Amino acid sequence: MPFGRDVIEVDALVTDRYLDSLLAARELVPAAGEGLDRGVRLASERLTRDLPRFHPSFRFEERLAVRLAEAAAAMRLPAAAGAEGEIRAVPFPAPELPVGFDPLVDHRDGGDPAGFSRPLLLRGAVAASALSLAGAAWVAWRRSRTSASPMARAARAAHAMRGRPA
Partner 1 sequence: MARPVFRTTGAAKTAAPRIVHLDLDRPLVEAARRDPARFEALYRRYLAPVYSFAYYELGNHHAAEDATARTFLAALTNLHRFEERAQPEDGAGASTFKVWLFRIARNVISNDRRTARRHPAAPLDAASAAIVADPLNVEGEAVRRDEASEAWRAVGRLPGDRRRALVLRFVDELSTAEIAGVMGRSEGAVRVLLHRALRTVAHDLGVPRPGRRR
Residues forming contacts to partner 1 in the complex (CB under 8 A) are: 8-9, 11-13, 15-16, 19-20, 23-24, 26, 35-40, 42-44, 46-48, 50-56, 60-61, 64-65, 67-69, 71-73, 75-76
Distance between CA 97 and CA 107 in Å, rounded? 12
Distance between CA 101 and CA 86 in Å, rounded? 37
Q: Are residues 45 and 28 in contact, defined by beta-carbon separation less than 8 angstroms?
A: yes
Q: How far is the CB of 88 from partner 1 (least distance, A)?
A: 25
- Letter string b/e over residues 23-51, b meaning 16 or more CB atoms within 10 A of that residue's CB: eeeeeeebebbeebeeebbeebbeebeee
* Nearer CB in complex with partner 1: 62/112: 62
Q: How far is the CB of 65 from partner 1 (least distance, A)?
A: 6
* Nearer CB in complex with partner 1: 68/97: 68
* Nearer CB in complex with partner 1: 37/116: 37
Q: Are residues 96 and 113 in contact, defined by beta-carbon separation less than 8 angstroms?
A: yes
Q: How far is the CB of 3 from partner 1 (least distance, A)?
A: 15
